[in-house]
Amino acid sequence: MFDKTRKHARAPILVEVIWGGGTHSTGARTTDISEGGCFIDTMAYAVVGETIDFKLLLPDGEWLPLQGEVIHELPRTGFGVRFTNISDSDRKRLRALLGIEE
């Protein structure tokens, strides 16, 4: 389903996430991903406006390093991240995960 306020359609993809920001690092998972961002399902806390570094575990066993800005959070549920500073090669890997053909 596509939310008209979003630039990119989200796909319900569950992948392992390791993320860190400030003084913490934790494991989590995504519940949905788009070309522009994802929702990270975690009980850990992130501050809206915070920039975090995180990695997605791809199906081939490789980690995709990403950076993003926390744009909203749901206490004890997780937070939404908008990708920032993504390289062309990492964007290509993300698009492959999403099944988007070049």
Structural domains in the chain?
16-92 (2.40.10.220)
SS3 36: coil
Position with higher pLDDT, 56 vs 6: 56
Burial (CB count <10 Å: 0-12, 13-18, 19+), residue 81:
buried
* Residue pointed to by tokens 């400030």: 22
Specify the pLDDT at position 21: 54
Residue 47: CA count within 13 A, CB half-sphere: 7
Specify the pLDDT at position 24: 52
Question: In the chain, what is the straight-line distance between the N-terminal and C-terminal CA atoms, in Å?
Answer: 22
Tokens of 48: 């809206």
Specify the pLDDT at position 11: 81
Angle, CA of 100, 37 and 78, to the nearest 5° = 130
Mind listing the pLDDT tens digit for each residue in 53-83? 999 999 999 999 999 999 999 988 999 999 9
pTM of the model: 0.83
pLDDT band for 38, please (50, 70, 90 cuts).
Answer: very high
Give Cα separations from 33 to 14, 24, 91 (angstroms).
8, 23, 12
- Rounded Cα gap, residues 65 and 57, in angstroms: 9
